[in-house]
Amino acid sequence: MRNIGHFIGGKNVAGTSGRTADVYEPMTGDVQGKVALASRAEMREAVLNARAAQPDWAATNPQRRARVMMKFLELVQRDYDKLAELLAREHGKTVPDAKGDIQRGLEVVEFACGIPHLMKGEYTEGAGPGIDIYSMRQPLGVVAGITPFNFPAMIPMWKFAPAIACGNAFILKPSERDPGVPMRLAELMIEAGLPPGILNVVNGDKEAVDAILDDPDIRAVGFVGSSPIAQYIYERSAATGKRAQCFGGAKNHAIIMPDADMDQTVDALIGAGYGSAGERCMAISVAVPVGKTTADRLMEKLIPRVESLKIGPSTDPSADFGPLVTAAALERVKGYVETGIKEGATLAVDGRGFKMQGYEKGFYMGGCLFDNVTRDMKIYKEEIFGPVLSVVRAKDYNEALALPSDHDYGNGVAIFTRDGDAARDFAAKVEVGMVGINVPIPVPIAYYTFGGWKKSGFGDLNQHGPDSIRFYTKTKTVTSRWPSGVKDGAEFVIPTMN
């Protein structure tokens, strides 16, 4: 039985609150460890460590900060297989999927290695008579990230890599469901040469979250999770004068035009809808075929593919997906399926009865597929976060365009078509933050920005890419004039460039 504490001041420390949570192994259903849940006092200790260490780190030149990131990349690659196995055992996703989780995080670390260029300001010589103006980016100080269970490697790295590269100290509050990988990443950052106190990992629940939001020394908060909590964190951060970027739920649509390559489309829907047991904020959970003929062709090909999905333990490299993260998550998803049936949707494939031989206590569920879902149903309105795909039939292109545009969520959307004009029109008009054209999971690469609209995102700046540098820095602008160019006598009007 593992006991997981916190990582504060460059070392692992035991929890002192007396409160813990179980860490499960989803593929067996067994408890594999206990994680400490921090008190406000423990969070404050981490913040004080970060505050003390941050000025020297900020004074370290950007090239040296980048070298720490480069060494961290090397160390994660060294431990890649071990990290992926640990992630899979705590989360439930397959080992190949866990490796993808790590890799997408590393790509943002690679982006952060360019911090000497990314931190550059601007300079104008001779902006006025004898006047030069320049700007510079400076770190905020102590910042924090609150990250979800579904990407325990990727999203922490999305948060702490640019923040630390910019010269900030970082407090990470990962999900208490799978804390092992975030703790290990912090250890590797120290091994890479990061000074103690610059990256602290504090495990916990709402008490730890509220301690972050109320702490006067934390200047910015990044969050990924459900929309109600995203809105809560955004509003409470704003009330205490903190910057906040908070990303919530999703209901990602895939529009299938009549001219789409149906075999490629079905392949895309299977991977995007059922990969990682649907526990992705960018998962496709709604397929929208345009026209009856398209819908019938889609269902004809989808049903046997969903029925043949291979569910297995996280360690099975041939499995399409593994178990859900907890027993509670499994029951919640099954509850949504039951609701869909009661609402009148057609359950074309029912995976609720799936049992994994030899792993009967694991949190497994087969793929489910609904047809004839309508926009007034709960299973359409709400994020299910499980291996459930809903088919909503649209009469024409305009109806299909309206579905994701009118939905409360606006994270990602995809269109499958061979018509460039239709794709261009769709990308321009759809009211969603990230768009894929024949790409089912339109997660931008690391040097572009990631973020949804409407209830999927709260805040003005997004994750990774240039927005991350803007979010974790403040701009200072200096207007300079030297005595040789100064006129005698007081001036009583506002300075201008005349």
Q: Which residues are catalytic?
A: 281
The residues with which 416 forms a beta bridge, in sequence order, are 256
Which strands make up the sheet holding 2-4, listed edge to edge? 2-4, 30-36, 20-25
Tokens 């989808």 found at: 302
CA distance 264 to 271: 11
Give the residue among 127, 149, 125, 123 at the shortest CA–CA distance from 136: 123
- A 10 A CB-CB count for 78 gives 12
Q: Which pair of structure tokens corresponds to residue 491?
A: 């001036």
- A 10 A CB-CB count for 348 gives 17
Tokens 């509670």 found at: 328
CA distance 203 to 184: 13
CA distance 214 to 3: 28
Question: Which residues fall within 8 angstroms of residue 160, CB to CB, at 6 or more apart?
Answer: 145, 170, 172, 199
Q: Cα–Cα distances in Å, from 429 out to 400, 433, 450?
A: 12, 11, 19
CA distance 36 to 7: 11
CA distance 389 to 270: 9
**Contacts from 304-307 at CB under 8 Å and sequence distance 24+?**
305/266, 305/270, 306/270, 306/274, 306/348, 306/349, 306/351, 306/367, 306/368, 306/369, 306/389, 307/349, 307/367
Tokens 């490629």 found at: 264
